[in-house]
């Protein structure tokens, strides 16, 4: 008798069908991991993803350079800013430093520190020849505007009483105070003259002053000559006062 093969063939067919069905639906399982072993995360609405994160920009700090105050020496006139006594005259560099205690100018009775200045700088200017002509400037700082104003009044009183210096300066003559037009601050200057004993020529000194807030600049030129004659408004001291007022402000 021949054995029947139908049941066996039917069983093999059923087994193959089950295997194929399991391979087809294995990707639909919620427990199946994504490629690389990392579960895929949903992207929230309105956002995009990138495989390479973009670093946040580092803010650049902004700094504002504060302008420091000018050096006290910068308030003094440079040698090139001082007008010459005549055409072609060019002053030479002198000395710069703290002012001494000697009175500044023939009419002065004391130094500027004695009338309230807290700091006084001085600069001298030498002549281009072997004469004793010279020029100088002192810039004084005061603690406040009221003290500077009082010192300004003292300087005027020294001018007004300068005839008291005639004992040591024979034939001393003192001219009137004259203002100089400047954009800001108060200014004035005057001319003094005398004839030193034994000299054939007279000695002339022009003294200028500038008041700007809590600072006062005092300027001096002196020279020996037979006369001191300049057109109106063209005296070298007028130019020196003008330059000092611009520098001081």
Q: Could you report the average pLDDT of every consecutive run of 10 residues in the chain (249 residues)?
A: 40 39 41 41 42 48 43 89 96 97 96 97 97 97 98 98 90 96 96 93 97 97 95 97 93
Q: Give me the long-range contacts of 68-73 (CB less than 8 A, separation at least 24).
A: 72/119, 72/121, 72/139, 72/141, 73/121, 73/123
- Please state, in angstroms and rounded to a whole number, the distance separating the CA atoms of residues 141 and 24: 98
Among the CATH numbers 3.40.1000, 2.30.29, 3.30.420, 3.90.1720, which is that of 91-126+133-224?
3.40.1000
Pairing of strands 134-141, 173-174: unpaired
Residue 143 is encoded by which pair of tokens?
């603690």
Cα(16)–Cα(46) distance, integer angstroms: 47
pTM over 0.85: no
Q: What is the CA radius of gyration of the chain?
A: 47
**pLDDT at residue 23, as a whole number:** 39
Q: Could you tell me the CA-to-CA distances from 248 to 98, 111, 153, 170 in Å, in that order?
A: 17, 20, 19, 35
- The residues spanned by each domain of the chain are 91-126+133-224
Q: Residue 246: in which H helix or E strand, if any?
A: helix 236-248
């Amino acid at each position: 008798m021949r054995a029947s093969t139908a049941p066996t063939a039917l069983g093999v067919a059923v087994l193959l069908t089950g295997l194929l069905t399991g391979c087809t639906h294995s990707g639909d399982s919620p427990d199946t991991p994504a490629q690389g072993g990392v579960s895929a995360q949903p992207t929230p609405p309105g956002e995009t993803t990138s495989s390479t994160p973009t670093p946040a920009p580092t803010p650049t700090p902004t700094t504002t350079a504060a302008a420091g105050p000018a050096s006290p020496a910068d308030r003094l006139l440079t040698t090139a800013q001082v007008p010459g006594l005549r055409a072609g005259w060019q002053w030479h560099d002198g000395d710069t430093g703290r002012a001494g205690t000697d009175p500044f100018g023939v009419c002065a009775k004391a130094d500027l520190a004695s009338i309230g200045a807290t700091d006084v700088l001085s600069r001298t200017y030498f002549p281009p020849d072997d004469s004793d002509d010279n020029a100088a400037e002192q810039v004084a700082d005061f603690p406040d505007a009221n003290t500077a104003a009082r010192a300004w009044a003292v300087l005027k009183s020294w001018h007004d009483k300068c005839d008291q210096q005639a004992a040591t300066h024979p034939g001393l003559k003192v001219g009137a105070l004259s203002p100089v037009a400047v954009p800001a601050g108060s200014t004035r200057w005057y001319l003094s003259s005398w004839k030193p004993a034994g000299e054939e020529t007279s000695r002339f000194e022009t003294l200028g002053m500038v008041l700007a807030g809590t600072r006062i600049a005092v300027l001096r030129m002196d020279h020996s000559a037979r006369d001191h004659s300049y057109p109106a408004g063209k005296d070298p001291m007028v130019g020196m006062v003008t330059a000092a007022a611009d520098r001081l402000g």
